[in-house]
Every structure is written in structure tokens, then in C-alpha cells.
Structure 1
């Protein structure tokens, strides 16, 4: 039975699942039927962070432009340009056993591509969620539905996996940002052109 989380709730992933290493993080959303004159393209990303809360090198940012971390520990399964349909819109595979030792946290984010030009924001997105399930069996371990109404934000941190006393835990964040992907990159220490 998956754990359904509220904003700010934390739960251990590995304590009740000894030997768990390969999981898939599924992110999904629906778009309201407002006509903004353009399609919505939401993009999931993962930031592999050190204790400083920042990346240690540019490759620690996994997204549609860098699908696989050099360690093989985090892999984005590809960009979904429309978000149409049920279930996960984008997925990121994580192998906790090979995530580099200096990484203490993996933040999972979603941004709206070209949001300013298209005059789009998370207020026009609903049913957003993040879930984590076992890669081997497909069993859903946890789910967090972002109930918040972000009216002006163009980026959001859905949640994060983090290491604590040798265990991997999940924190339901649900925090919005203005400034899209560039704001998240600045926050996590990614250099953007």
C-alpha cells in the first residue's frame, strides 16, 4: 500500500524495504483547458546535490539536455512534449546503490518550458503529482499530490530524496518558484548560458 504524503511530510524509503536500490520517480500533471495560444511543455529534472545544497559539477543536473548522470545512478527517460494522457508524464530512474557518495540529496523539479513567452504558469496546471515505485515490480511506494495553487510560479520543486544515517528518505516539498528553470539553476548552482 503506497504512502500518500502531505506537503512537508518525510518518509523513509529504504527502512521498510531492505535491499531496495532501483526506483522510478514518476511525475505527472494535467493542464487546465484555458487557451493560452500555445501548447504546454512541462519538463521534469533532477538536481544531484551535495551537503552544501548545490551541485558539485554541471553533470549533476539531469534533464532533457543531459539524460543520464555519469555515474548511471540517475537517468531521465525522455521529454514528454504534451503531458497528454493518464499516468506519469515524465520518469526518472534512480539506482540508489550507485549514486555517488558525495550526493546527499536529489531534488525533483518541474518547469514550464518557455513559460514567459507563452504566458503560462502553474496556476494553469492541476493534478500535479510525484510518485516513487519499485523498478522491478512496479509497486508504488509513495505518492505526493501537489494540492497547492501556484498562481504565478513557472517552476516547482515537487520533492527530494535524501540520505540520512545510511537510509534514503523522501521529503514532499511542493514549493513554487518564479523565473522558471533559470531560477532553479541559480538556486542549485547550475551555470546557465
Structure 2
């Protein structure tokens, strides 16, 4: 068991698919073990969608991807902040995070690293820390945005968990042009992190705050 007892877990994704890339296999494991997982995405990145796809394609894709992970539709929250402008809307984002805190009352939050290079990711991490400072917080890994990452927490994973993550990310047809959006990379990362803790597969996290009851 990843946690003792049922947990209420909130995943903060600046953009649709960030949560799946950062902790998709861990989400699958938590759900299998009976935890309630909620997912909040703050932008569907309409301004960045390739011209051959509908502008709202990522809304459709995140619904399919989170369903693949086992997240109920009612546990998915979608906001429409414009990509690369989050830093101009800090207070509004913080207000949405506080609303989520009151509604969900999570005990564990997954979010980007505080040192993530992407400006939107930084905003969600910084405001997420403000909103959820009384929760346990783990930051997920995004190697293309992390110059440094403190691998202070690892989650043991099985083939089933990794396969579920791969299947979820395969729902993002509009993102398949990205060099990290493929099964080979996803499995290589999980295998590499697994080697570090002498298991087949793993995901790693930075421990921002860990609260024991």
C-alpha cells in the first residue's frame, strides 16, 4: 500500500497532460488501492494546439486520459487560463485553489516542482504551496523543465501501473509530436527511476511537505 488508509489526493496540472506525465502511474496505483483522486487542469492550451486539430481538442483528450487512469468524471476540474499568462492571474488562480481546498479537503497534493522552468508551472507550484501548506505536498518530475530535481521520494510501480500511464497519455493525439510523448520515453523514465530503488519501475517526487498523523 502506498498510503495507510484511504486518502483524498489532488493533482494540480498547469496544463492538460502535465499530471499524467508527472505522476500518471502513481495516480493509477492510488486509485487501485482505493484512494479518491481529483485532477485540476488550469489550461487546455488552445493557443498552442496545432492547426490540424480543433482548438478545444485537449479538453476532449484530458477527459479520455483521466478516465483511462480511473479518475471519475466528477473528480475532474477544468479551468480556462490562457497558456503562458498564469503569472498575470496569480490571485485568481489562488482563489480557484482555495475553492478546491474547501470542496475537496485533500490530505495529499501533487504539483509541479517549485523550481520548474515553465512560468505557468512555477505559478501553480507557488500558489499551490500557499493554498495547501497544511497538506502533504509532493512535486512531480518533468525532466524537460527541471534543471535540478531532488529525488527524495519514490513510488514502487508495477507493469500494470506503467501500462495504464502509457494508455492515458496515448489519448493525447494532439501532443504526439513532442519528443517525450511516446511509450519508449515514458517506460525508460520509469525503468531508470526503478533501478535507483532496486525495483522494476518507479516514479520519483520532491518532498515539499510531508505530514504524519
TM-score, normalised to structure 1, is: 0.26
Q: Identify which of structures 1 and 2 has the higher relative contact order when contacts are C-alpha pairs closer than 8 Å and 6+ apart.
A: 1
Report which of the two has the higher share of helix.
Answer: 2
